[in-house]
Amino acid sequence: MKDIMNKEVDDRKEDAIVTEKQLLPVQLNVNGKQYILHLEPWTSLLDALREHLGLTGTKKGCDHGQCGACTILIDGKRINSCLTFAVMYQGVPITTIEGLAQGDKLHPLQQAFIKHDAFQCGYCTPGQICSAQGMLNEGHAYSRDDIHELMSGNLCRCAAYNNIVKAIEEVIETGQTPDAV
């Protein structure tokens, strides 16, 4: 019996060694800062941001690519960070909601969301704003219908959709469209 238990302990030690060996050094460039993390190869970009860098502005909703709460920008393009691995983005500029404001000056989309009361609980808001910036970078939103369609990957359980669209529309109409980030 004792031998069996010792073998189980040894097996667990073996597992721990294998896991340690599987950590990879990963260099991430997030909001203009460089970080080196040691991650399991299967760590999602979302978990790297939230759990390893403490950037919890990016939210985990479904963790399955269906809600948009985890939307961030990779070199200006919006992606669902729950659906991709951190190791794939070494050295590529990553922008999260924490990187949009310039010091104390809010990003125009952040200001417009406040002005138009475009949130209730706020859980989806970081993803909505990053997605809206990505949509502006794409340059295909010309009407309210376009905004509705192009933002349809970002769900809002509080159904603040009308005000979200109004906020984005104002940023487009007033020409405050910020430079691509």
Least distance in Å: CB of 69 to ligand FES? 5
Which residues, other chains included, contact 39 with Cβ-Cβ below 8 Å and sequence gap of 6+? 23, 24, 26, 48, 52, 86, 87
| Segment lying near ligand FES (by CB under 6 A), choices 15-23, 99-107, 123-131, 132-140 | 123-131
- Convert residues 13-52 into a mask of x (bound to ligand FES by CB under 6 A) and - (unbound): ----------------------------------------
Asked if 61 interacts with ligand FES (CB under 6 A), we say yes
User: Of the candidates 126, 107, 106, 121, which has an alpha carbon nearest to the alpha carbon of residue 160?
Assistant: 121
Q: Among 41, 92, 158, 162, which residue interacts with ligand FES (rule: CB under 6 A)?
A: 158
Asked if 126 interacts with ligand FES (CB under 6 A), we say no
Asked if 140 interacts with ligand FES (CB under 6 A), we say no
Helices 161-173 and 108-115: crossing angle, nearest 10°? 130
Nearer to ligand FES, 76 or 153 (CB): 153
Query: In Å, how far are 72, 75, 89 from 45, measured between CA atoms?
Result: 10, 14, 8
Q: Among 50, 60, 107, 116, which residue interacts with ligand FES (rule: CB under 6 A)?
A: 60
Sign of CA pseudo-dihedral 75, 102, 63, 15: positive
Nearer to ligand FES, 46 or 171 (CB): 46
Residue 134 contacts residue 96 (beta carbons within 8 Å)? no
* Pairing of β 33-39 and β 71-74: unpaired
Asked if 82 interacts with ligand FES (CB under 6 A), we say yes
Q: Distance between CA 154 and CA 2 in Å, rounded?
A: 55
Asked if 57 interacts with ligand FES (CB under 6 A), we say no
Positions that interact with ligand FES (CB under 6 A): 60-63, 65-70, 80, 82, 119-125, 156-158, 160
